[in-house]
Homo-oligomer: A and B are copies of this chain.
Amino acid sequence: MEVFEAISQRRSIRRFKEEDVDESLIEKIVQSGVWAPSAGNLQSWELILVKNPQTREKLSEAAYLRDFIAKAPLVMVPCVNLIVSGGVYGTRGVKLYSLQDVSCAIENMLLMAHALGLGTCWVGAFDEQLVIDLLEIPDNIRPVALIPLGYPDEKPYPPPRRDLDDFIHFERY
């Protein structure tokens, strides 16, 4: 699939078929994440892949009962490593670069998933401590999103986007 087609036609998917996702596709998606740019090429991210149905159910509860999370065959939990990003770049590394880096990796994964005929949804609203406890995430690692992945069982309309004129500023703000 062409780049602009993937970028413009990717949608958030909240209904999934029960069909499992082949390991080779998951590997291709994760590999796309790896190629994201990162500050100083630190790649200060970690990724937890959850298939266990009980764990997915609990992730759904941690995300304020969004039950489509539990219904996807796989949930990806991208995390940042605060020691790696902070060790080199201090506070700016922890509070800015590491979040930017993992976000690029996630966006790459969403685009690749769409290009492979799969659907995802970026879930940002969840109780971090519940997820940390559930997935036994150590102190220096922070989960930053829950990304259910599976074959889409809906075809949502594109949500509206701002006009370019509305947010582009020339030479100064």
Which residues on A are within 8 Å of B, measured CB to CB? 1-4, 6-8, 10, 12, 27-28, 30-32, 34-37, 39, 41, 43, 45-52, 55, 79, 89, 92, 95-97, 99-100, 103-104, 106-108, 110-112, 115, 122, 124-125, 134-138, 141, 144-145, 159-162, 164, 167-173
**Known contacts A46-B169, A47-B167, A136-B173, A144 near B100 by CB under 8 Å:** yes
The reply to whether B35 and A112 contact each other, CB–CB distance below 8 Å, is no
Copies assembled: 2
The reply to whether A36 and B95 contact each other, CB–CB distance below 8 Å, is no
| A110 neighbours in B (Cβ, 8 Å) | 37
The reply to whether A46 and B103 contact each other, CB–CB distance below 8 Å, is no
| A169 neighbours in B (Cβ, 8 Å) | 46-49
